[in-house]
Protein backbone atom coordinates (compact mmCIF):
# COMPACT_ATOMS: atom_id res chain seq x y z
CA UNK A 1 0.00 0.00 0.00
CA UNK A 2 1.36 3.41 -0.98
CA UNK A 3 1.85 5.63 2.06
CA UNK A 4 3.12 9.19 2.27
CA UNK A 5 3.50 10.75 5.71
CA UNK A 6 4.43 14.41 6.08
CA UNK A 7 5.99 15.91 9.19
CA UNK A 8 7.81 19.00 10.33
CA UNK A 9 5.03 21.55 10.28
CA UNK A 10 4.41 23.99 13.09
CA UNK A 11 4.28 27.63 14.14
CA UNK A 12 7.11 29.86 12.92
CA UNK A 13 7.65 33.62 12.95
CA UNK A 14 7.81 35.65 9.75
CA UNK A 15 11.31 35.44 8.31
CA UNK A 16 11.91 32.09 9.97
CA UNK A 17 12.68 28.67 8.52
CA UNK A 18 11.15 25.23 8.61
CA UNK A 19 12.00 21.89 7.02
CA UNK A 20 9.22 19.57 6.00
CA UNK A 21 9.69 15.85 5.45
CA UNK A 22 7.64 13.26 3.60
CA UNK A 23 8.31 9.60 4.39
CA UNK A 24 7.33 7.23 1.60
CA UNK A 25 6.57 3.53 1.77
CA UNK A 26 4.80 0.84 -0.23
CA UNK A 27 6.48 1.64 -3.55
CA UNK A 28 9.93 2.06 -5.09
CA UNK A 29 10.48 5.67 -4.09
CA UNK A 30 13.57 6.12 -6.23
CA UNK A 31 11.55 5.50 -9.41
CA UNK A 32 9.05 8.33 -8.97
CA UNK A 33 9.06 12.09 -9.27
CA UNK A 34 7.52 13.83 -6.27
CA UNK A 35 5.71 17.06 -5.56
CA UNK A 36 4.74 19.47 -2.80
CA UNK A 37 1.30 21.08 -2.96
CA UNK A 38 -0.15 23.49 -0.40
CA UNK A 39 -3.55 24.70 0.63
CA UNK A 40 -4.06 27.91 2.59
CA UNK A 41 -6.90 27.82 5.15
CA UNK A 42 -10.23 27.84 3.36
CA UNK A 43 -8.58 28.17 -0.05
CA UNK A 44 -7.81 26.00 -3.05
CA UNK A 45 -4.81 23.87 -3.95
CA UNK A 46 -1.54 25.39 -5.12
CA UNK A 47 1.39 23.47 -6.57
CA UNK A 48 4.67 24.41 -4.86
CA UNK A 49 7.53 22.32 -6.24
CA UNK A 50 8.48 19.13 -8.08
CA UNK A 51 11.59 16.97 -8.19
CA UNK A 52 12.42 14.15 -10.57
CA UNK A 53 13.37 10.67 -9.42
CA UNK A 54 17.12 11.31 -9.55
CA UNK A 55 16.88 15.00 -8.58
CA UNK A 56 17.99 15.98 -12.08
CA UNK A 57 14.94 18.17 -12.69
CA UNK A 58 13.55 20.58 -10.12
CA UNK A 59 10.75 23.10 -10.52
CA UNK A 60 9.30 25.78 -8.26
CA UNK A 61 6.26 28.00 -8.24
CA UNK A 62 7.17 31.66 -8.69
CA UNK A 63 5.69 32.36 -5.25
CA UNK A 64 8.38 30.30 -3.50
CA UNK A 65 11.34 30.48 -5.91
CA UNK A 66 14.50 31.57 -4.13
CA UNK A 67 13.04 30.84 -0.68
CA UNK A 68 12.12 27.13 -0.78
CA UNK A 69 14.35 24.18 -1.70
CA UNK A 70 13.05 20.73 -2.57
CA UNK A 71 15.29 17.70 -2.14
CA UNK A 72 15.10 13.97 -1.67
CA UNK A 73 17.09 11.10 -0.21
CA UNK A 74 16.29 7.94 -2.13
CA UNK A 75 18.23 5.81 0.35
CA UNK A 76 15.91 7.01 3.10
CA UNK A 77 12.73 7.03 0.97
CA UNK A 78 12.22 10.64 1.95
CA UNK A 79 11.26 13.93 0.34
CA UNK A 80 12.04 17.30 1.88
CA UNK A 81 11.06 20.95 1.58
CA UNK A 82 13.36 23.51 3.14
CA UNK A 83 11.40 26.71 3.63
CA UNK A 84 13.29 29.93 4.38
CA UNK A 85 12.23 33.57 4.68
CA UNK A 86 8.72 32.46 5.53
CA UNK A 87 5.84 34.87 5.10
CA UNK A 88 2.32 34.98 6.47
CA UNK A 89 1.04 34.00 3.04
CA UNK A 90 2.97 30.71 3.27
CA UNK A 91 0.55 29.59 5.99
CA UNK A 92 -1.03 26.42 4.65
CA UNK A 93 -1.34 22.68 4.88
CA UNK A 94 1.52 21.21 2.86
CA UNK A 95 0.97 17.91 1.06
CA UNK A 96 3.46 15.68 -0.67
CA UNK A 97 2.15 13.86 -3.75
CA UNK A 98 3.59 11.17 -5.97
CA UNK A 99 3.90 11.35 -9.74
CA UNK A 100 2.90 8.25 -11.65
CA UNK A 101 4.25 8.18 -15.20
CA UNK A 102 1.73 9.90 -17.43
CA UNK A 103 -0.70 10.45 -14.58
CA UNK A 104 0.97 12.56 -11.89
CA UNK A 105 -0.33 13.48 -8.45
CA UNK A 106 -1.81 10.03 -7.94
CA UNK A 107 -1.23 9.52 -4.21
CA UNK A 108 -1.14 12.21 -1.52
CA UNK A 109 -0.06 12.34 2.10
CA UNK A 110 -2.33 13.58 4.87
CA UNK A 111 -0.60 16.96 5.04
CA UNK A 112 1.26 18.99 7.66
CA UNK A 113 0.18 22.46 8.79
CA UNK A 114 2.60 25.37 8.61
CA UNK A 115 1.55 28.57 10.38
CA UNK A 116 3.60 31.71 9.90
CA UNK A 117 2.67 34.27 12.52
CA UNK A 118 4.29 36.56 15.03
CA nearest neighbour of 109 among 117, 99, 98? 98
Q: Would you call 62 exposed, middle or buried from its count of C-beta atoms within 10 A (0-12, 13-18, 19+)?
A: exposed
Contact 98, 27 (CB under 8 A): yes
Give CB contacts under 8 A, 24+ apart, made by 57-62.
Answer: 57/33
Where does this chain touch another protein (CB under 8 A) — which range of 14-22, 67-75, 81-89, 103-111? 103-111
x/- contact string, 52-81, with another protein (CB under 8 A)?
A: -------x-xx-------------------
Least gap, CB of 44 to another protein (angstroms): 5
Q: Does 41 bind another protein (CB under 8 A)?
A: no
Q: How many residues contact another protein, by CB under 8 A? A: 21
Q: What is the CA radius of gyration of the chain?
A: 13
Q: Does 44 bind another protein (CB under 8 A)?
A: yes
Any alpha helices (H) in 1-118, and if so which ranges?
none
Least gap, CB of 91 to another protein (angstroms): 16
Q: Which of 51, 95, 114, 116 binds another protein (CB under 8 A)?
A: 95
Q: State the DSSP H helix or E strand holding residue 85, giving kind and residue range, or none if neither.
A: none
Q: Does 105 bind another protein (CB under 8 A)?
A: yes
Q: Does 108 bind another protein (CB under 8 A)?
A: yes
Amino acid sequence: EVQLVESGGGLVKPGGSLRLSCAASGFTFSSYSMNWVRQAPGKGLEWVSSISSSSSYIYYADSVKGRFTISRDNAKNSLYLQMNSLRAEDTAVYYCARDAVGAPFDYWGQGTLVTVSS
